[in-house]
Structure 1
């Protein structure tokens, strides 16, 4: 999801945000799947993101299916389970062949899972905030983020039988050039060292998870905490970032993006819900500092969020 900003005096109406979905996959070591976009891509060039993409009405009927399909195409991880006791998750070679066939539109994702008697594990996806690109951006997205755990209640992302983990693989540069699991705090450290780049939604979600996923292996308490956020106001939050006007004489070249619940966006006086963002060429962020001085479990003000997620 792009946060690049262009001059606000455009004469034309802002583009309509495209429906999209992104999937945060957490493994048993509390690592999160991240993929790096192709540096030659027309959008988000070189940026590290969660797997995701635009809703395709020809392929799926829900954003959850979009998230599952995109994760499969971009990393090879299949969030699905056998539909009966006689079926099995296909071999790595079959999965790799299928992901490229789906990406190349030689078959649909639904046709692939039907062929192997699989069922997409959509019920394991938990809503984890929605983000709408600012009106100033040349390309806009209405992105639903989901979170899921591996291993889950199914064989999702794992080979049948031994349950040996299937390592993520990039898609050969068609969209991404790297795919890996990394702990949220380590990903943030790499971003702060400018080894990788994020956009504000990815930073926000990783920052949130880094304060929960602290153990070396995923614990029941940590899963419950993530599920609690998903089922509460946090999971239903809709972010419409707005640029805070700053004095023209200000020497600071950074941009302040305010979020719903900030004191300037309907929150109580003194409440901060904003990010200080520095951007480089192409609107790619080079530094982000999040200011959020309230408890996301107990102190979210529901009246300041559009929980209907309308475009």
Structure 2
């Protein structure tokens, strides 16, 4: 087949994913059902496709999907006492099953999605060669009960639960250090975007207790170019053709300065990754390449 006869790449679907951090610097990971069409059996951050019928933004998508997949809700209320009467399990099943929209659930219980808690944390676009493509915006949020300006946060410090195996078979909080160790020893499966973000946060979220300085560092990174960085991976042979790598924007192989590295050296086993090694040698706060185009919802 010639280039002119090559099938046109599918348009990536807009999606969102939430990197949820608890007070112990642990990050919520859910394991996808092995029978799922996308990311089967892999550990990912909760998330899913933008639903034009009920989502008003990608932040809304991330909050809704986290509620559906892990049972954790990021919302605000003017009357926290009414939350004692909310059956979250029943509501979650109704929202996931389509008997009730997420918006209706929030409205009926005087709740509002806590959009302001979400911090942009890179966007990833699936390579054109893939049959199923996504443009996924990742967000970071911290789980902390708080009261401010008369609003009560429902970002509860509770254990996540899977959705009964419909999409997720396991949900748990893991420290980035432990998550990467479990991947390297073959206990869990990860894809490059999840590994990249875990590696990025591992150097910031040190220790087992979240501090204000750590949260501020994540907020600064989100507000810097890093938070708006759009990554379009391209596959290259590197190290004299010995290794395979996804090369990202700003790398010397993508037109960046000589010696600049922004790549993930990988070993694949079928559709999964057995090893990944992030090579990145620039300052995240000041030197991240940023894509100007912003997709319309």
TM-score by length of 2: 0.92
Following superposition, which runs of at least 4 residues in structure 1 exceed 4 angstroms of deviation?
A: none
1:278·1:287 contact (CA, 8 Å) conserved in 2?
A: yes
**3-state SS in 2 of match to 1:97:** helix
2:291 equivalent in structure 1: 306
Pair 1:30-2:48 in alignment: no
1:307, CA displacement in angstroms?
A: 3.3
Task: Choose the corresponding residue for 1:287, options 270, 275, 280.
Answer: 275
2:79·2:110 contact (CA, 8 Å) conserved in 1?
A: no
Pair 1:276-2:271 in alignment: no
Q: Distance in 2 between matches of 1:245 and 1:9?
A: 25
1:142 equivalent in structure 2: 135
2:14·2:50 contact (CA, 8 Å) conserved in 1?
A: yes
Pair 1:73-2:62 in alignment: no
Gaps spanning 5+ residues in structure 1: where? 1-7, 159-164
Deviation per CA, 1:83-103, whole angstroms, max 9, x where unpaired? x236533567x1111111111
TM-score by length of 1: 0.88
1:195–1:9 Cα change, 3 Å: farther
Give the number of aligned pairs: 289
State the superposition RMSD in angstroms.
Answer: 2.0
Q: Distance in 1 between matches of 2:5 and 2:74?
A: 42
2:247 equivalent in structure 1: 258
How is 1:175-190 mapped onto 2 (pairs within 5 angstroms)? 175-190=167-182
2:149 equivalent in structure 1: none
1:17 equivalent in structure 2: 12
Deviation per CA, 1:66-116, whole angstroms, max 9, x where unpaired? 00000000000000121x236533567x11111111111111000001110
How is 1:115-264 mapped onto 2 (pairs within 5 angstroms)? 115-151=108-144, 153=146, 154-158=152-156, 165-245=157-237, 250=241, 252=242, 254-264=243-253
Q: Distance in 2 between matches of 1:196 and 1:107?
A: 34
Task: Choose the corresponding residue for 1:39, options 13, 27, 34.
Answer: 34
**3-state SS in 2 of match to 1:279:** strand
Structure number with higher strand proportion: 2
Q: Distance in 1 between matches of 2:238 and 2:204?
A: 34
Gaps spanning 5+ residues in structure 2: where? 147-151
1:51·1:67 contact (CA, 8 Å) conserved in 2?
A: yes
Q: Distance in 2 between matches of 1:87 and 1:125?
A: 25
Task: Choose the corresponding residue for 1:89, options 80, 83, 87.
Answer: 83
